[in-house]
C-alpha cells in the first residue's frame, strides 16, 4: 500500500522545495544562549530564540533542574490522577497562580496541549467561540476540537469583534479567544477593550500569554499586567518553553471552577503524562527568581528600547511597538532570505519569514531581543544590519 503514498509524498515534498518553502533545521552544537555554535563550527550571536530572559542555560535554573531530578526522579510514568502528582506539581500550580494573580492553575505537557484542552470541555454546540484571525495554530486547533459555533474576527478589530458578539447573542456561553502578543509582528491585543466588550456582552475571555509571561508588565506578570486587566481574564494559557527557562510544559490559569472542571474533563491533561520533575522544579526556581527581582525583565526592556530606536535610526522599517519581537520589514521574500543569509555570514543568526508564515508581500526578518544580550551584542547586530542593508540597497 505504501508504494503509492510514498510517490505522492515525494512529489508533494518536491513541490514544497520548489516553492522555496522547505523548512531546513539548523543544527546547533552548543546549549541555547545569546551565543551559540552551529554545526559548521561557526559561533554566532543568536537573535531568534524565545529565550527572552536568558534563562534557558542559566546556572541557577540548571541547578534547580538537577536538584529536582535527584530528589523527585527522572519521570513519573503516569498521568496526574493515577500516580503522577508530586508535591512539586502542586507547588508549581500554586506558584503560577500567585505569579499571574489567578485563582488556580493546571499543568500540561505544553501550551499546545493547554490550548488543545481548554475549549472542548466547556463549549458545546450551543456556545460560541469568537477568535482573532491571527491566533496561534494551537488556539485554532483547540477551537476545532470543541463542538461550539465559531466566528473569526479581523485582527484586533474591536468593531468586528463587537459585531460577532452581537451575532451570537443567543449562544449559551460566548468566549473571546486571543493571543496576548502576536508572534509575527510583536503587536499586543487590546485587552482593556476586549475585557470591556466581554463585560458589555457577558462573554468570557481567554488569553494566550506565551510571548509575555515573565517579562511583560512592570513585574513581568505577563500581558494582563501590561494591559492592566489582571483578574478580568477568565482563562490564561501560557508556556514554560519560552521566557521561563525554555524547556517545555505549559498551563491554564484562571478561575477556580474552570480549572477544577478541566482537571475532570480536559483530554490532554487526563490522557498525557505528568510534567517531568526536572522541568517542574526548574520552573519553580524561575518563578522565584522573577518574583525576587525584576532585573532581568528590566534589562530586556532596556535592550528592546535600544534596539528599536537604533534600527529605526538606521532607516529600517520596523513594525512599531515595545515587544522584544522586532519585525524588520523587507516586504520582498527573496530579499528577506538573502539578508538573513548575509547576516549569518556576519555571525548574526536571525530568520527571514515569508509566505505562508506571514502574508504575501510582507516578508521580514524577525529579531528577538533577550536579557542575555549585552549592549555590545546589540551594537554588533546593528553594525551588521547597517553593513548588509547598505550593500543590498535597503537603506542609504
Ligand X SMILES: *Cc1c(COP(=O)(O)O)cnc(C)c1O
Q: Which residues bind ligand X (CB under 6 A)?
A: 110-112, 115, 136, 138, 179, 183, 208, 210-211, 239, 241, 250
Burial of 313 (0-12, 13-18, 19+ CB in 10 A): exposed
Q: Give me the long-range contacts of 18-21 (CB less than 8 A, separation at least 24).
A: 20/333, 20/337, 21/356
Q: Is 211 a catalytic residue?
A: yes
104 or 208: CB nearest ligand X: 208
Rounded alpha-carbon distances, angstroms, from residue 37 to 58, 84, 228, 341, 379: 17, 37, 40, 16, 20
**Coil, strand or helix at 269:** helix
Beta strand pairing call for 317-318 and 325-331: antiparallel
Cell of 276: 517531568
DSSP code string of 319-332: --SSSSEEEEEEE-
47 or 385: CB nearest ligand X: 47
322 or 387: CB nearest ligand X: 322
Options 58, 136, 211, 335, the catalytic residue: 211
Q: Is 183 a catalytic residue?
A: yes
115 or 303: CB nearest ligand X: 115
**Nearest in space to 141 (alpha carbons), one of 113, 175, 121:** 113
Shortest distance (Å) from residue 387 CB to ligand X: 31
Query: What backbone phi and psi angles, to 5 degrees, belong to 364?
Result: -155, 170
Shortest distance (Å) from residue 321 CB to ligand X: 16
Which residues, other chains included, contact 64 with Cβ-Cβ below 8 Å and sequence gap of 6+? 281, 282, 284, 285, 286
Shortest distance (Å) from residue 250 CB to ligand X: 4
Cell of 305: 528600547
Shortest distance (Å) from residue 332 CB to ligand X: 26
Q: Is the dihedral of CA 384, 390, 395, 396 positive or negative?
A: positive
Q: Is 58 a catalytic residue?
A: no
Shortest distance (Å) from residue 255 CB to ligand X: 20
DSSP code string of 356-376: TTS-TT-EEEEEE--TT--HH
Shortest distance (Å) from residue 249 CB to ligand X: 7
Options 183, 253, 354, 370, the catalytic residue: 183
144 or 334: CB nearest ligand X: 144
Options 242, 299, 319, 335, the catalytic residue: 242
CA distance 298 to 225: 15
245 or 389: CB nearest ligand X: 245
55 or 382: CB nearest ligand X: 55
Q: Is the dihedral of CA 154, 364, 21, 143 positive or negative?
A: negative
Shortest distance (Å) from residue 44 CB to ligand X: 22
CA distance 206 to 90: 23
Q: Which residues does the annotation mark as catalytic? A: 183, 211, 242
Amino acid at each position: 500500500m505504501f508504494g503509492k503514498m510514498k510517490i505522492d509524498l515525494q512529489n508533494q515534498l518536491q513541490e514544497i522545495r520548489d516553492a522555496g518553502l522547505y523548512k531546513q533545521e539548523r543544527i546547533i552544537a552548543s546549549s541555547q544562549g545569546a551565543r551559540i555554535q552551529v554545526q559548521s563550527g561557526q559561533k554566532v550571536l543568536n537573535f531568534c530564540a524565545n529565550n527572552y530572559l536568558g534563562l534557558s542555560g542559566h546556572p541557577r535554573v540548571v541547578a534547580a533542574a538537577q536538584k529536582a531530578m535527584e530528589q523527585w526522579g527522572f519521570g513519573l510514568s503516569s498521568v496526574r490522577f493515577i500516580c503522577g502528582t508530586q508535591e512539586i506539581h502542586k507547588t508549581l500550580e500554586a506558584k503560577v497562580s500567585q505569579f499571574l494573580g489567578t485563582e488556580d492553575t493546571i499543568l500540561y505537557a505544553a501550551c499546545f496541549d493547554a490550548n488543545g484542552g481548554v475549549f472542548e470541555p466547556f463549549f458545546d454546540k450551543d456556545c460560541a467561540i469568537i477568535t482573532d484571525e491571527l491566533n496561534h495554530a494551537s488556539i485554532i486547533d483547540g477551537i476545532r476540537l470543541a463542538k461550539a459555533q465559531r466566528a473569526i474576527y479581523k485582527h484586533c478589530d474591536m468593531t468586528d469583534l463587537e459585531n460577532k458578539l452581537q451575532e451570537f447573542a443567543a449562544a449559551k456561553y460566548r468566549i473571546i479567544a486571543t493571543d496576548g502578543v502576536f508572534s509575527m509582528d510583536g503587536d499586543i491585543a487590546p485587552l482593556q477593550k476586549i475585557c470591556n466588550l466581554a463585560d458589555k456582552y457577558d462573554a468570557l475571555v481567554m488569553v494566550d500569554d506565551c510571548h509575555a509571561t515573565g517579562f511583560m508588565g512592570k513585574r513581568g506578570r505577563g500581558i494582563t499586567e501590561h494591559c492592566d486587566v489582571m483578574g478580568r481574564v477568565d482563562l490564561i494559557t501560557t508556556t514554560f518553553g519560552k521566557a521561563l527557562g525554555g524547556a517545555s510544559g505549559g498551563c491554564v490559569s484562571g478561575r477556580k471552577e474552570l480549572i477544577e472542571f478541566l482537571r475532570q474533563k480536559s483530554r490532554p491533561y487526563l490522557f498525557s503524562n505528568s510534567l517531568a520533575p526536572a522541568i517542574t522544579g526548574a520552573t519553580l526556581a524561575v518563578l522565584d527568581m522573577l518574583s525576587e527581582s525584576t532585573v532581568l525583565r528590566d534589562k530586556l526592556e532596556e535592550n528592546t528600547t535600544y534596539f528599536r530606536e537604533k534600527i529605526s535610526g538606521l532607516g529600517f522599517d520596523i513594525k512599531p511597538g515595545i515587544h522584544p519581537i522586532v519585525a524588520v520589514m523587507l516586504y520582498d521574500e527573496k530579499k528577506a532570505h538573502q539578508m538573513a543569509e548575509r547576516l549569518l555570514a556576519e555571525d548574526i543568526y536571525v530568520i527571514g519569514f515569508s509566505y505562508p508564515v506571514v502574508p504575501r508581500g510582507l516578508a521580514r526578518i524577525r529579531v528577538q531581543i533577550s536579557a542575555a544580550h549585552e549592549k555590545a551584542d546589540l551594537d554588533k547586530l546593528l553594525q551588521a544590519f547597517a553593513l548588509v542593508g547598505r550593500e543590498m540597497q535597503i537603506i542609504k
